[in-house]
């Protein structure tokens, strides 16, 4: 299983607008991805409710994971989005 540990770059964490950006990006990468707070239970990264339930704050570490083909590239893109607090998924 491929995984990336990243620190959330959005000051407000994964709430409201950043959560919406992340959920759209997770759905767009084309592979199933989970996200979890360090040491916590993973949730579907493309689920707005799951993501909001994490309560992930700015500066906290999260773990992105997937075991699907193409996971490495997808996780790299999502990790860059989260770590840098971007408004859209970086180009492939």
- Non-local (6+) Cβ contacts of 49 within 8 A are none
Q: How confident is the model at residue 1 (pLDDT cuts 50, 70, 90)?
A: very high
pTM beyond cutoff 0.85: yes
CATH hierarchy code of domain 2-84? 3.30.1340.10
Q: What pLDDT was estimated at residue 92?
A: 73
Residue 58: half-sphere exposure toward Cβ, Cα within 13 Å: 9
Q: At what angle do helices 71-84 and 16-28 cross, to 10 degrees?
A: 160
Q: What pLDDT was estimated at residue 39?
A: 87
Give the residue numbers annotated as catalytic, written as ranges. Answer: 15
Sorted by where each begins, the domain ranges of the chain are 2-84
3 is written with which tokens? Answer: 């995984």
Q: What pLDDT was estimated at residue 38?
A: 85
* Dihedral sign from CA coordinates of 12, 47, 70, 5: positive
Q: What is the pLDDT of residues 38-68, one digit of tens each?
A: 889 999 999 999 999 999 999 999 999 999 9
């Amino acid at each position: 299983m491929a995984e990336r540990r990243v620190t959330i770059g959005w000051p407000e964490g994964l709430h409201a607008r950043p959560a919406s950006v992340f959920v759209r990006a997770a759905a767009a990468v084309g592979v199933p991805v989970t996200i979890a707070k360090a040491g916590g239970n993973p949730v579907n990264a493309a689920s707005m409710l799951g993501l909001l339930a994490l309560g992930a704050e700015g500066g906290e570490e999260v773990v992105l994971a997937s075991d699907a083909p193409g996971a490495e590239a997808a996780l790299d893109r999502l990790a860059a989005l989260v770590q840098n607090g971007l408004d859209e998924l970086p180009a492939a």
